[in-house]
Amino acid sequence: MHSYVNNILVPYLDNARSELHLPPDQLAIWQIDAWSVHRSVEFRKWMKRYHPTIQLEYVPGGCTGLWQACDVGIQRLLKHEIRRSSRADIIEEAVARIGATDSEDDVSAIILDKSVKVVRDRSVGWLVRGYNAINKKDFVLSVSFLSSLSLHDHIDSVMIGI
């Protein structure tokens, strides 16, 4: 988390402040999930000490779909497509190995190659197929629109005490 904050989040926030002509000490709110690492005393103390202009705001448990639409909408589809692609590769390899065996009892023929080289080379294709699944303007806009509707419904129900 330290590396993410120092190398990605802080430069992003510094750039945003600069583009918006805000002072360098302008407070920023970082909305993150309530993962145990994010909530740990150690992490919160570190953030307060080294990044006092970043305020942590935690998404309540069970509310990710309301507050972080990309987690539920876009990332869910991305992860699903990566899993689907990897399973398709495994099935294809297993079927090919089964078809290549001389005997139905020769199970050693279906031991799959899980070496780093094979997984590394295949993972690029999985990621590309995942990217292609989500790289659709209409899809991204629909996730954003549905999320805003869901969030407004949630806020309205909380505000009127439902």
Closest CA to 123 of 153, 74, 81: 81
28-53 burial: b if 16+ Cβ within 10 Å, else e: beeeeeeeeebeeeebeeebeeebee
DSSP string, 33-80: E--HHHH-HHHHHHHHHH-TTEEEEEEPTT-HHHH-HHHHTHHHHHHH
Q: Tell me the C-alpha distance between 32 and 9, whole Å.
A: 12
pLDDT one-digit tens code per residue, 54-100: 999 988 877 776 776 677 778 888 999 999 999 999 898 888 877 77
pLDDT at position 161 over 50: no
**What is the pTM for the complete model shown?**
0.54
User: H or E stretch including 29?
Assistant: strand 28-33
pLDDT one-digit tens code per residue, 18-55: 999 999 999 999 988 888 888 899 999 999 999 999 99
Mean pLDDT within 4-23 = 96
The least confident of 8-12, 23-27, 126-130, 154-158 is: 154-158
- Cα-flanking dihedrals φ and ψ of residue 43, to 5°? -65, -45
| Structure tokens, 108 | 């050693």
pLDDT at position 150 over 60: no
